[in-house]
Structure 1
Amino acid sequence: MKPLYVYSEELLKYRFNDTHPFNQMRLKMTTDLLKSAGFLNDSDIVGPRVATEDEIKLVHTEDFVEAVKRAGHFELSEEELINFGLNTEDTPQFENMHEKCSMLVGATLRAVDLIMNGRAKKVTSLAGGLHHGFTGKASGFCVYNDAAIACEYLRQKFNQRVLYIDTDAHHGDGVQFTFYDNKDIMTYSIHETGRYLFPGTGLVTERGVDNGFGFSVNLPVDAFTEDDSYLEVFKESLERTAEIFQPDIIVSVNGVDAHYRDPMTHLSLTSKSYEEIPRFVNDIADKYAHGKWLALGGGGYNIWQVVPRSWAQVWLAMNNIEAPKGRLPEEFLSEYKPLSKLEFPENWEDDLSDYMEIPRRPEITEKNQLVLDRILMYLE
């Protein structure tokens, strides 16, 4: 029952255009890093499948699915594109959009099937984690919301209570609002406050409605939050959430865009956090969720300096391998260092020579503690 890793180069085809910041080359780089370091073998890898339309419609409306299909053939009018969120700078239409998105969703559902059919208790599928997609509208680089589809697939097909954990710097709004009135799927998101960052949601007071009241947990941390404050807030609140909810399985989105070198957010985490976050989720899965954990990708827009090393830690945590230190594999460095226009990291851990001290550290830490205190009060 060793962990498994869902991957195929077909998943690299989810790409808006050549200048868009969402670049799935990060997925190939992560896989190549793990392979060249000897942490990932061909026997660990399982190929994706294509999600069916019925599976996609577990979350998305029929008219949206039809719109995505037509957008992939450039058949939608400007008005229709606007209505479905498919002509924005963030989420423009691209060729064969439905087919490529269905493969990405299918990779996530393949991971679910591997767990629920007894092939593995833990599976990594880093192609997924598109948590901003809404039931009838694309948003924030996300067309079909594979994370939400996986949660609903688990609920409907396998009668599972799902704890959804989102550590992306951006609030997991699409997943939260899909299940805002649902008590069988608990959504937990720790993210940069929406005061400064898309999508602007994820307030502490967003707790769910009707049957789902109390089943949405949000920890909006202050801009420039650093490792120690983040990890304290994260660990205490997540442990309490899992203890109360007692899930059957965990689905996590492992965005790594809270790193201080990410160009799209304002948080200040280092490789220390990305070593500890997945290992803590792994422990929570073992302690509260029968060891069942599906780990998805998410955000991460510095593909050269941040994403491969940070995402690699998810697979390593799943396999109970300590975070490696020292020099990256020579094979990986020789392949990718010449391609990078940025100073390419040579070690597993960050070189912090460019890390700027945060002058408001005590104030930021105090604000984050107040957020934690409020959440813990709600969870009593």
Structure 2
Amino acid sequence: MSRTAAPRLIGSEIYRGSTYGPKHPLAIPRVSTTLDLIAALGWLDPARYIDSPRATVAELTRFHTPDYIAALQRAEATQQVNPADRDRHRIGADGNPVYREIFSRPATSAGGVLHACRLTAQTPGIIHVPGGGTHHGMPDRASGFCYVNDAALGILAWLDAGLTNILYVDIDAHHGDGVQTAFHDDARVFTLSVHEANRWPFTGAADDVAGGHAANFPLPEGATDTDMLAVLDHAITPLTR
């Protein structure tokens, strides 16, 4: 039987006080609140906590274009965005605001996911990265409040480590369009998304199978735990066998 590592958690203090703005849908300090709650309830041995590294430019450009990463760095340094970068990379547009850590925060999220994937490639186990999951990011632009697609970068890290049969399961309310698009033609990666139907980005229809490498389960608004368990039992679990 293969050895399995104890569960671990990767977090960072960069999320504390970092905000997209008071009126933004992501104004709630979700990550720092989650980390504080886990600590207060004693759910995790402090020895299993890992401080997230920050992804390097070289690591980020494994998926994203150099021009886009440079534009994020410029936006953080100047706290503004020029018209060309706004139009080309959607920084400061479409609900993707310029904020204090516009490069360093997503780079930290990506660094945490990359570290988790490299650790699990060596030894199987469960690692939670509450700052990750920015699945809408595209190679050359921000999308859906996501500046860096840490999920795509993590999958690429697994592929680079030699894994060739990857199942990506996405249960966000929105379809994981950025990840599905990234691996649309890669038979080594199967993407599965359970999301709310008729909701932005309005992709991920039930008949969208991405050339045979994806499954999408759009659920109606108000879907219950029973609905989610049915998808788990009849759709997700069979794919793992």
Whether contact under 8 Å (1:14, 1:24) holds in the other structure is no
- 2:236 aligned residue: 238
Q: Which moved more, 1:11-20 or 1:215-224?
A: 11-20
Task: List per-residue Cα deviations over 1:148-181 (Å, max 9, x = no partner).
Answer: 1000111123334221000111100111101111
- 2:37 aligned residue: 33
Map 1:178-327 to 2 at 5 A.
Answer: 178-193=182-197, 195=198, 197-208=199-210, 213-243=211-241
Distance 1:12 1:135 in 2: 27
Q: How many pairs does the alignment contain? A: 236
Whether contact under 8 Å (1:190, 1:219) holds in the other structure is yes
Residue 199 (structure 1) shift? 0.7
Identity of aligned residues (%): 28
Distance 2:209 2:163 in 1: 23
Distance 1:229 1:106 in 2: 34
Q: TM-score by structure 2 length? A: 0.90
Pair member with larger Rg: 1
Q: Give me the CA root mean square deviation.
A: 1.9
Residue 24 (structure 1) shift? 6.2
Residue 89 (structure 1) shift? 4.6
Task: List per-residue Cα deviations over 1:22-74 (Å, max 9, x = no partner).
Answer: 14622222222222222122112011101111211111112211221122224
Please point out which of 107, 127, 134 is paired with 2:112.
Answer: 107
Task: List per-residue Cα deviations over 1:250-293 (Å, max 9, x = no partner).
Answer: xxxxxxxxxxxxxxxxxxxxxxxxxxxxxxxxxxxxxxxxxxxx
**Match of 1:68, as an amino acid?**
L
Map 1:59-78 to 2 at 5 A.
Answer: 59-72=63-76, 73-74=78-79, 76-78=81-83
- 1:290 aligned residue: none
Distance 1:76 1:36 in 2: 39
Distance 1:227 1:145 in 2: 28
Distance 1:122 1:43 in 2: 15
Distance 1:238 1:60 in 2: 29
Please point out which of 36, 51, 56 is paired with 2:55.
Answer: 51
Q: Which moved more, 1:145-154 or 1:226-235?
A: 226-235
Q: 1:53 to 1:139 in 2, by over 3 A?
A: same
Task: List per-residue Cα deviations over 1:71-117 (Å, max 9, x = no partner).
Answer: 22246422421221112252112234222221111111121232234
Please point out which of 174, 179, 182 is paired with 1:175.
Answer: 179
The answer for unaligned runs of 5 or more in structure 2 is: none
